[in-house]
Amino acid sequence: MLKIPKKVLERFATDLKKFQTVANSHKTKDVSEADTVTLVKDILASVFGYDKYDELTSEQQIRGTYCDLAVKIDGSIKYLIEVKAAAITLNNSHMQQALNYGANHGIEWVVLTNALDWKLYRIKFAQPIDFEEVSAFNLTNLNIKSEDDLNKMFLLCREGISNDAMGLYHQHTQLVNKFMIAQIAISEPVVSIIRRELKKLFPELKVEVDQISDILVNDVLKREVIEGEKVKETQLKIKKTTFKLARLASKKATDVTAE
């Protein structure tokens, strides 16, 4: 999905295993949060490709409070990082603390980590301010032969920042997910295709689109992709996109007529 440069893949292959061992050791020894921050900076530099001294700032002040780390490139903060000790299990209160830092400073991307677990969040500056988890991985479980793992790592890389990898990955996950696929599966064009294929296989069969829709909704698809807020958001996204495409088609037809 993401085009990862060869030098980044080589860096992963060279440095990831070493830091997987170190991170596990930090968890076992129950090291302090300060020591975990040091480890996270080393991971960001060696694995993710940042200049430790010019692009990683410690204890970034955010309106009177401090976030542990910030990735700053050409004077602009790209994402904030809230770090907890390696032996601590990340929880909702840690997440909220990290998100508050970003929201208070207008930073869209925030990372919460204990050096092993890494969670990337995107803050939605609406009323009220909301957030969503975009990606998550455990450093010790990463496999450089897994495309999904490579993509998740690349999101946090220096090279990924230059290519807006976070934005592209987020857009992809917004469009290619179980909610979107489910809504398309129960749409009229797809249900009609299913009906047509059934009649092709069994010409004597009498089946209506409503019957097929009911089976899809009640027997085939999981309830979570049929009901709930995520489903409503997906339906709205489809509606807006359909309207936009119809408007573009209408404009194109008008332009052709004018010619």
* pLDDT given for residue 158 in this prediction: 94
Q: Report, as an integer, the average pLDDT of 161-173.
A: 79
85 or 253, higher pLDDT: 85
Residue 211, pLDDT > 80, answer yes
| 1 confidence band (pLDDT: 50, 70, 90) | low
Measured in degrees and rounded to the nearest 5, phi and psi for residue 246 equal: -65, -40
pLDDT of residue 66: 64
Confidence band for 249, pLDDT divided at 50, 70 and 90: confident
* pLDDT confidence of residue 6: 94
* Cα–chain center distance at 122: 8
What pTM, to 2 d.p., does this model score?
A: 0.74
Ramachandran region, residue 208 (left: φ > 0; alpha: ψ -120 to 50; beta: rest): beta
Reply yes or no on whether the pLDDT at 25 is more than 90: yes
Rounded CA-CA distance 237/229 in Å is: 12
